[in-house]
Amino acid sequence: MGIKDMHRRSRLRKPTWIIILVSLVCVFLVVAYIYPPQDPTACYILSSSSCQTISRWRSRSPPEREPSEEETAARVVIENLLNTPSIETKNPKIAFMFLSPGSLAFERLWDKFFQGHEGKFSIHIHASKAKPVHYSRYFQNREIHSDKVDWGKISMIDAEKRLLANALKDPDNRHFVLLSDSCVPLRSFEFVYSYLMYTDLSFIDSFEDPGPHGSGRYSEHMLPEIEKKHFRKGAQWFTMKRQHAIIVMADSLYYKKFRDYCKPGMDGRNCYADEHYLPTFFHMFDPSGIANWSVTHVDWSERKWHPKSYGLKGLSLQLIKNLTSITESVHETSNAKRVTTITPCMWNGVNRPCYLFARKFLPETLDKMIDLFPSYTTI
């Protein structure tokens, strides 16, 4: 072999190696694309940026759905409202919104609750059947224009929106509490005020229930805007910060989906908008802005169609103390497995008691509750 031959061979060798190397890298990338690295070690080897690139490729396939014009508009309004800092006012108040067929059985108890805190609250009553008779000056002339409410139907949400709209008219109202005629306070006004005001959360109950009383109520007519994986369930009784109340007022697209496709008898199933609209809506748009539990306690342990009613029998200071000492929220799925999820109630990073109010209390408990109120609110 002559000198010239050797030169030619080494010149040949370089490009061959480069081709092999490039091919190997290509094969590696194709494999990494098809089988994306699942564990952090793989990402470390790949370097984090290429790892992110690969996972971005993955999440783009299948390509994201093109939102409709109406959806784009709805999202941009919601996102802008979420990013707008709230305006502070001098005299922040809490709006207590009562949803009731008529008179409020616990008005005299609430009167005790509100006494001495004038100027820090406002009361709004939606009486859907009969004009209430009042026993407390705080409740006089506080009825708003109301309409008929059918249990489990969209008219329930309409009543909630009517209350929110009315309470929002006062710029001092910073937090909005929805209560029923069977709700009682479990805490003093000061406790409730600081619990709701000094956190950035709305206490909206929201959890995923794959069972028949949860996602089983979902209808594909809600597509494409609302996917089954986003469908949530939660108790109707919420508290909401002002920003969220405004967002509820601004929404019509998602509201209409629930109005039209989540109702009793939909596709042969019963869906109740008041148990799904807000839990789903806020899960989609501001999951970390909601606590995922309701500050209104209710006892479903009897597993009947309606929760346990608290009557005079068994009512004691100890019972109320028990309710106020609960620090975990419990959710149970409605499928055969009945999976129970227990979550500590976290308030500004600290585990605290979950409940400020409780239902369902029977009217017969009124006098006893008035007697007990000073005792259970001073502990």
**CA 375 centroid distance within chain:** 32
Residue among 10 and 288 whose Cβ is closer to ligand NAG: 288
Residue among 123 and 369 whose Cβ is closer to ligand NAG: 369
Q: For residue 248, how many other CB atoms are within 10 A of its CB?
A: 23
Residue among 171 and 287 whose Cβ is closer to ligand NAG: 287
Number of residues interacting with ligand NAG: please give it, by CB under 6 A.
10
Residue among 318 and 351 whose Cβ is closer to ligand NAG: 318
In the complex, minimum distance from the CB of residue 342 to ligand NAG, in angstroms, rounded to a whole number: 14
Which DSSP string do the residues of 185-236 spell out, in sequence order? E-S-HHHHHHHHHTSS-EEEE-B---STTTGGG--GGGTTTS-GGG--B--S
In the complex, minimum distance from the CB of residue 334 to ligand NAG, in angstroms, rounded to a whole number: 17
In the complex, minimum distance from the CB of residue 242 to ligand NAG, in angstroms, rounded to a whole number: 18
- Exactly one of 59, 72, 252, 322 binds ligand NAG (CB under 6 A); which one? 322
Torsion sign, CA atoms 356, 358, 363, 364: negative
Helix (H) / strand (E) containing 41: helix 40-46
- Exactly one of 116, 224, 287, 363 binds ligand NAG (CB under 6 A); which one? 287
Residue 291 touching ligand NAG (CB under 6 A): yes
- Single out the segment in contact with ligand NAG by CB under 6 A; choices: 62-70, 75-83, 253-261, 281-289: 281-289
In the complex, minimum distance from the CB of residue 44 to ligand NAG, in angstroms, rounded to a whole number: 26
Residue 166 touching ligand NAG (CB under 6 A): no
In the complex, minimum distance from the CB of residue 28 to ligand NAG, in angstroms, rounded to a whole number: 35
Q: What is the DSSP letter of 337?
A: T
Nearest to 264 by CA among 251, 254, 274, 255: 274
Considering only residues 292 through 321, tell me which ones interact with ligand NAG, judged by CB under 6 A: 292, 316, 318-319
- Single out the segment in contact with ligand NAG by CB under 6 A; choices: 260-268, 285-293, 302-310, 350-358: 285-293
Nearest to 180 by CA among 202, 162, 156: 156
Task: Report d(CA 217, CA 268) in Å as an integer.
Answer: 10
Residue among 184 and 290 whose Cβ is closer to ligand NAG: 290
Burial code of 23-48, b = ≥16 C-beta within 10 A, e = fewer? eeeeeeeeebeeebbeeeeebeebee
In the complex, minimum distance from the CB of residue 31 to ligand NAG, in angstroms, rounded to a whole number: 33
Q: Classify burial at 113, counting beta carbons within 10 Å of its beta carbon; exposed 0-12, middle 13-18, buried 19 or more.
A: buried
In the complex, minimum distance from the CB of residue 322 to ligand NAG, in angstroms, rounded to a whole number: 4
Task: Report d(CA 266, CA 261) in Å as an integer.
Answer: 7
Q: Classify burial at 172, counting beta carbons within 10 Å of its beta carbon; exposed 0-12, middle 13-18, buried 19 or more.
A: middle
In the complex, minimum distance from the CB of residue 319 to ligand NAG, in angstroms, rounded to a whole number: 4
Residue 284 touching ligand NAG (CB under 6 A): no
- Exactly one of 16, 61, 288, 348 binds ligand NAG (CB under 6 A); which one? 288
User: Taking CA 178 as the corner, what is the angle to CA 176 and CA 181, rounded to the nearest 5 degrees?
Assistant: 145
Residues at the interface with ligand NAG (CB under 6 A): 283, 287-288, 290-292, 316, 318-319, 322
